[in-house]
Amino acid sequence: MKQLLVFLLAFALSGQVFGQAETLIYGSHLAQATSSNPAYQNEYNLVIIGTSLYQNTFFTGPTVGDALKTNNGQTFFDAQSFLNALDEDNLFREQLNLHTFGGAVNLGPLRLSLNHNFRFEAQAVYSKELAELALLGNGQFVGDTVRLDHDLQLFSYSELAVGGAIRLGKLQVGANLKWLNGIGSLSTEKGQLSLYTDPGVYDITFISDYRVNASSLASLSLNDSIQFNFNPSSVDFNTLITKNQGIAFDLGVILDLGAVELSASAVNLGSIKWTENVSNYASSANLTYSGLDLTGLLTSDSLDFPSTVDTLKSLINLSETQDAYSTTLPAEYRLGLRFEAGEKLYLGAVLGLQTFGEQSYKTLGFYATFAPIRILNLQASYTVVNDTYTNLGLGGALKLGPAKFYAMTDNFPALFNPKSARHFQGRIGVNLVFGKKDLEK
Amino acid sequence: MKSLFALLLGSIALSFWACNPLDNYAGIDRGNLDAEFAVPIGQMELKMQDLLEGKNPDQITVDADGLIRLHYQGDLLTRTSEQIFDAIETSLAFPIPIDSTPFLLPLSAPDGLEIYRLDLRSGTMQFTTVNTTGDFIQLHIELPQVLDENMQVVKLDYLVPDLGGTPWFSDIIDMTNYTIDAPSSEVYVEYTATLLSSGDSLELDPFLIQLSQVEFSYAEGYFANQLHDNGLDTIDIDLFDTWLEGDVYFEDPLIHIFVYNSFGVPTRSIVQVFEVHTALGQILPLESPYIDNGIDFEYPDINHVGETAVTHFIFDKGNSNIDDILGSEPTQLVYEVDAITNPDNDTAIVGYITDSSQYTVTVAVELPLYGTASNFKVRDTLDWDASALANAQEMELKIITDNGFPLEAKMDLLFLDEQNQVIATVFDKPELLMAAAPVNADGFPTDVEQTVSLIPLSGDLLANARQADKIALLLSFSTSMQDGSQPPVKITDEQEMNIKLGLKFK
């Protein structure tokens, strides 16, 4: 066991460790735990999963407190502080999961489930120079090449999952099959950009190998200005069913060794093919903009500044196509260890890996689950997140009749000091449970 | 340009959509940050070859060594032989009484004109008399100097009846292609008249000859002093249209006089007016011995009838004061160059004119772009749209010139209101925009000179610039000083300059 813990720690600390996979849900005994490992058995024979919300926000670089300052009661954006807090490369990650309906039933050793979720996934990777360029202009970069590489993955989709799990002696195996229906997407397929401002008369060289795909609710406007549009607020029931289809799988296995339980899972293995209202905007250029040919001014009787938008269009040399494209879901892999420390106490650890585009997120969490009374379940966790070691989680579930209310977060200090936090995570909801099942072996 | 950064920022901003901490704020307050942008405005290339392309070669020419010459052409003034022939034809247009035989018709005039030969292109001749003798009169007429189309002496015979006092008219004689050959400038009419029945001679009284619609194709003789009055002409020189002040000295300006003469008569110029009007309002006369004494124009002699002799006379600084008067910002050349035939009254010179003879004169000013300039100032005013400056707090215009011309330029920028009143001046004194390219001993540039200029716009100046409706650019051109002197330089078709503009603004 000691060797295993050393291995887990070594894995988690072998580079940046990001908080992504939930720690507490893994040891919660809630039906929602099947979303992180479909091999879990419910402790109730029938569970009706009510509406619940899961939210996870994580970013590096400046905190809200770095960006927003208050002076004489007025809150303002402190750009300098914001920039000072940026790392060379910065990350923003957002997950939202709105569970609409679902349920699970145990039939002997077999568990069957049906669930529907709306999911939103967002990830942005950007350089400090990009932010500096946006906020400070290129004046300070005259003579230097500014790296503007970035990666943006943004999509929302509807997920209908059917699942099943079965106990085979000490082994539990389970799987979910998910039908995915994409609502909207904006995704950089290639994100290499750089800008060089010549020290002469500031000729701008723009090098790009860039391609961004948009579908349904997202678009790029190239008319009077150049801007991305993504408007999830326009989602209504008429737009929930689209032609953007996808399939995903969850797989899980649990090995019950008595007081020790080992688990492994791989979830969200799948992709969505975007075919509806698709636009691809690509730029592959190595262009230098030297301004306009003003030779005509020698014989002209007026002096006008050139059209900025026209200039940028020619510089970026953006082409538009309508080719279908696919986005891969952020796959999550977990290894779990649970130890029954007493009649009402479980201790556990979970090592998680999530891959999303070119990013991978690793997390290492430890948790304890304590059930002082039959209707109450308390949890605490500790998670290593992004080189910080003070992420303490709390959670609990209270059963009142068939209703089982629950709430949990992996970083409860963020609730009290949001301005300095970089990780906000939480889950809240209610299940209706019927027929306590004896999960004892 | 900010849109570019907005575009780039947009990707990031999207990421903050879910829980954007800035959502509660109407806009991003940059707080203590001033963004600074640097963008290229553009560039202009001034190549002499491009400027020369498509230009009228009568106006601009290029020497083999590339030296550019500007040409300003006057009107083409033409005088034909019609004027002289008209005078002769008019003098013969009346009935001439023949009161003796032989009767002398002189082909000369009091001013000394003497015609020795005339070729008729057309015309008619008719005789008239009155017979009251009661008998027929036999009339024989000879014109020994008048030859018909077969070069035979014209001899005519008529039987004149008594018409009871009514005039008798002979046939109308077509004189087309007749020749009058009168080496002594005299034409004689000889006649005899006898009564048919008795053979007695008699004098006819009256007896007249009527020449009608006579047109000559050739006249030969001594034409005395015929004046070709060409009238006043003006050549506009637009080189100094935008000139304000300063000096330009052309090293080798020229005035050309071209005369195309197919009159077979010696002709000499009479310069009535030849003067340069300057931008300062001065009137400077061209001075030269050739102004005083005239210029003898070439003419085709009697052995080259039908040919055109060309005279090309050039006023240069060796035979006139042209370098002084054309080096003083000329705007117009005003001239009247008339011509007079037989200026030396040498009657031994037999000349001729034909019905196609003409005398054409044209004057041209040629300014080789070779010389010196000192603070030659020009001004141009452009409409100014300052909307692009609306949000700028501070600007700095950067100009980089690569100058292949042997001229330096200093500039001043003025912002003007709608009434052209100056509301802001960018510089306290003219700022060097571009340094002159160095030249060799022949005045040709040997290299390109680069100059970097910065034009700051901020504070009150920027505020005034926003209010301006026009911008005035004052440029002052000079050739370089070398070792205390100002050597002349040459502008060639190979020279070019490149001007690049960039802008920094906050």
Which residues does A389 contact at the CB level (< 8 Å), separation at least 6? none
A55/A119 Cα distance (integer angstroms): 10
Which residues of chain A lie closer than 8 angstroms to B8, CB-CB?
Answer: 130, 133-134, 148, 150, 193
Residues counted in chain A: 441
Alpha-carbon distances, residue A323 vs A183, A187, A320 (angstroms): 17, 13, 9
Minimal CA separation from A356 to chain B, in Å: 15
Distance of CA A96 to the CA centre of its chain: 8
B190/B196 Cα distance (integer angstroms): 19
Q: Which of A202, A210, A222, A315 to mutate to test the interface with B (most CBs of B within 10 A)?
A: A202
Residue of B nearest to A306 (CA): B41
Task: Determine which helix (DSSP H) or strand (DSSP E) holds A1, and give its type and residue range.
Answer: none
Q: In this structure, which long-range contacts are made by residues A258-261, counting pairs with CB atoms below 8 Å and at least 24 apart in sequence?
A: A258/A340, A258/A441, A259/A339, A259/A340, A260/A337, A260/A338, A260/A339, A260/A340, A261/A336, A261/A337, A261/A338, A261/A339, A261/A340
Nearest 5 degrees, angle CA A403-CA A32-CA A433?
25
The amino acid at residue A315 is L
Which residues of chain B lie closer than 8 angstroms to A289, CB-CB?
Answer: 40
Task: Report the pLDDT value the prediction gives residue B25, as an integer from 0 to 100.
Answer: 40
Which residues of chain B lie closer than 8 angstroms to A53, CB-CB?
Answer: none
Task: Report the pLDDT value the prediction gives residue B196, as an integer from 0 to 100.
Answer: 93
Task: Determine which helix (DSSP H) or strand (DSSP E) holds B49, and give its type and residue range.
Answer: helix B48-52
Alpha-carbon distances, residue A123 vs A54, A226, A351 (angstroms): 17, 22, 21
A78 contacts B42? CB cut-off 8 A:
no
A201 contacts B12? CB cut-off 8 A:
no
Distance of CA A239 to the CA centre of its chain: 23
pLDDT band at A254 (very low <50, low <70, confident <90, very high): very high
Most confident region among A282-286, B72-76, B184-188 by mean pLDDT:
B184-188
Which residues of chain A lie closer than 8 angstroms to B501, CB-CB?
Answer: 201, 291, 294
Residue of A nearest to B24 (CA): A75
- pLDDT of B478 > 70? The answer is yes
Which residues of chain A lie closer than 8 angstroms to B31, CB-CB?
Answer: 69, 76-80
Which pLDDT tens digit goes with each residue over A138-172? 888 999 999 888 888 989 999 999 999 999 999 99
Number of CB atoms found within 10 A of residue A43's CB: 17
Instruction: Could you list the beta-strand ranges (E) of A290-412.
Output: 292-293, 302-303, 319-321, 325-328, 331-340, 345-356, 359-373, 376-385, 388-400, 403-409
DSSP state of B3: H
pLDDT band at A291 (very low <50, low <70, confident <90, very high): confident
B10 contacts A227? CB cut-off 8 A:
yes
Which pLDDT tens digit goes with each residue over B282-301? 999 999 999 999 999 999 99
Residue of A nearest to B505 (CA): A139
B259-B265-B271-B277 Cα dihedral, nearest 10 degrees: -20
Nearest 5 degrees, angle CA B335-CA B338-CA B344?
140
Contact A49, A31 (CB under 8 A): yes
The amino acid at residue A103 is G
Minimal CA separation from A328 to chain B, in Å: 18
DSSP per residue, B421-456: -EEEES-SSPEEEEPPPPB-TTS-B-S-EEEEEEEE
B501 contacts A201? CB cut-off 8 A:
yes
Greater model confidence, B86 or A39: A39
Task: Determine which helix (DSSP H) or strand (DSSP E) holds B411, and give its type and residue range.
Answer: strand B407-416
DSSP-derived 3-state class of residue A275: coil
Greater model confidence, B277 or A387: B277
Residue of A nearest to B18 (CA): A94
- pLDDT of A3 > 50? The answer is no
Residue of A nearest to B15 (CA): A124
Which residues of chain A lie closer than 8 angstroms to B9, CB-CB?
Answer: 130-131, 134-135
Q: Is the peptide bond before B95 cis (omega within 30 degrees of 0)?
A: no
Which residues of chain A lie closer than 8 angstroms to B35, CB-CB?
Answer: 135-137, 139
B300/B238 Cα distance (integer angstroms): 37
Task: Report the pLDDT value the prediction gives residue A9, as an integer from 0 to 100.
Answer: 44
Contact map slice: A 185-224 vs B, CB within 8 A:
186, 188, 193, 197-198, 200-204
**Averaged pLDDT score across all residues of chain A:** 83
A201 contacts B18? CB cut-off 8 A:
no
Contact map slice: A 38-57 vs B, CB within 8 A:
57
- pLDDT of A5 > 50? The answer is no
Q: Is the peptide bond before B206 cis (omega within 30 degrees of 0)?
A: yes
A291 contacts B16? CB cut-off 8 A:
no
In this prediction, residues A239-264 reach a mean pLDDT of 91
Task: Report the pLDDT value the prediction gives residue B28, as an integer from 0 to 100.
Answer: 52
Alpha-carbon distances, residue A314 vs A227, A278, A319, B437, B497 (angstroms): 15, 23, 10, 35, 26
Contact map slice: A 267-306 vs B, CB within 8 A:
289-295, 297-298, 300-306
Nearest to A342 by CA among A371, A306, A374: A371
Cα diameter, chain B: 147
The amino acid at residue B253 is P
- pLDDT of A298 > 70? The answer is no
Considering only the beta carbons, identify the residue of B15, B41, B503 that sits closest to A124. Answer: B15
- pLDDT of A309 > 60? The answer is no
Which residues does A108 contact at the CB level (< 8 Å), separation at least 6? none
First to last CA, chain A: 22
The two structure tokens encoding residue A144? 């230097």
Burial class of residue B502 in the structure, from the number of CB atoms within 10 Å of its CB (0-12 exposed, 13-18 middle, 19+ buried)? buried
Nearest to B262 by CA among B359, B361, B362, B118: B359
Domains of chain B, CATH where assigned: 39-53+372-505 (2.60.120), 68-81+227-368 (2.60.120), 98-222 (2.60.40)
A36/A410 Cα distance (integer angstroms): 15
B326/B286 Cα distance (integer angstroms): 9
Task: Report the pLDDT value the prediction gives residue B428, as an integer from 0 to 100.
Answer: 82
Backbone dihedral region of B356: left (phi > 0), alpha (psi from -120 to 50 degrees) or beta?
alpha
The two structure tokens encoding residue B60? 């601009």
Task: Report the pLDDT value the prediction gives residue B228, as an integer from 0 to 100.
Answer: 78
Task: Report the pLDDT value the prediction gives residue B386, as an integer from 0 to 100.
Answer: 72
Which pLDDT tens digit goes with each residue over B125-140? 999 999 999 999 999 9
A302 contacts B500? CB cut-off 8 A:
no
Cα diameter, chain A: 94
The amino acid at residue B290 is Y
Greater model confidence, B144 or B32: B144
Most confident region among B55-69, B93-107, B195-209, B377-391 by mean pLDDT:
B195-209
B22 contacts A137? CB cut-off 8 A:
no
Minimal CA separation from A363 to chain B, in Å: 22
Which residues of chain B lie closer than 8 angstroms to A230, CB-CB?
Answer: 14, 17
A197 contacts B38? CB cut-off 8 A:
yes
Which residues does B94 contact at the CB level (< 8 Å), separation at least 6? none
- Report the DSSP pairing between strands B254-261 and B394-403: unpaired
Task: Report the pLDDT value the prediction gives residue B397, as an integer from 0 to 100.
Answer: 87
- pLDDT of B388 > 80? The answer is no
Task: Report the pLDDT value the prediction gives residue B32, as an integer from 0 to 100.
Answer: 55
pLDDT band at A48 (very low <50, low <70, confident <90, very high): very high
b/e A13-29 (16+ beta carbons within 10 angstroms → b): eeeebbbbbbbbbbbbb
The amino acid at residue B200 is D
Which pLDDT tens digit goes with each residue over A60-87? 899 989 988 888 888 888 888 899 999 9
B176/B169 Cα distance (integer angstroms): 20
Domains of chain A, CATH where assigned: 2-189+215-280+326-436 (2.40.160)
Considering only the beta carbons, identify the residue of B15, B32, B471 that sits closest to A122. Answer: B15
In this prediction, residues A304-316 reach a mean pLDDT of 57
Task: Report the pLDDT value the prediction gives residue B239, as an integer from 0 to 100.
Answer: 73
Give helix A308-316 / helix B2-15 axis angle, nearest 10°.
70
Alpha-carbon distances, residue B1 vs A39, A307, A313, B217 (angstroms): 55, 9, 11, 79
Number of CB pairs < 8 Å for A and B? 209
Which residues of chain A lie closer than 8 angstroms to B18, CB-CB?
Answer: 57, 94, 96, 120, 122
- pLDDT of A315 > 80? The answer is no
B21 contacts A304? CB cut-off 8 A:
no
In this prediction, residues A208-233 reach a mean pLDDT of 68
**Averaged pLDDT score across all residues of chain B:** 85
Q: Measured between CB atoms, does A146 come within 8 Å of chain B?
A: no
Which residues of chain B lie closer than 8 angstroms to A201, CB-CB?
Answer: 40-41, 43, 398-400, 500-502
Which pLDDT tens digit goes with each residue over A389-414? 778 999 999 999 999 999 999 888 88
Task: Determine which helix (DSSP H) or strand (DSSP E) holds A84, and give its type and residue range.
Answer: helix A79-84
Considering only the beta carbons, identify the residue of B8, B40, B400 that sits closest to A133. Answer: B8
pLDDT band at A231 (very low <50, low <70, confident <90, very high): low
Which pLDDT tens digit goes with each residue over A117-136? 999 999 999 999 988 888 88
Task: Report the pLDDT value the prediction gives residue B414, as an integer from 0 to 100.
Answer: 87
Contact A31, A162 (CB under 8 A): no
Greater model confidence, A387 or B359: B359
Give helix A128-136 / helix B2-15 axis angle, nearest 10°.
130
Task: Report the pLDDT value the prediction gives residue B167, as an integer from 0 to 100.
Answer: 94
b/e B461-475 (16+ beta carbons within 10 angstroms → b): bbebbbebebbbebb
Instruction: Could you list the beta-strand ranges (E) of B229-290.
Output: 233-236, 243-250, 254-261, 267-278, 283-285
A69 contacts B31? CB cut-off 8 A:
yes
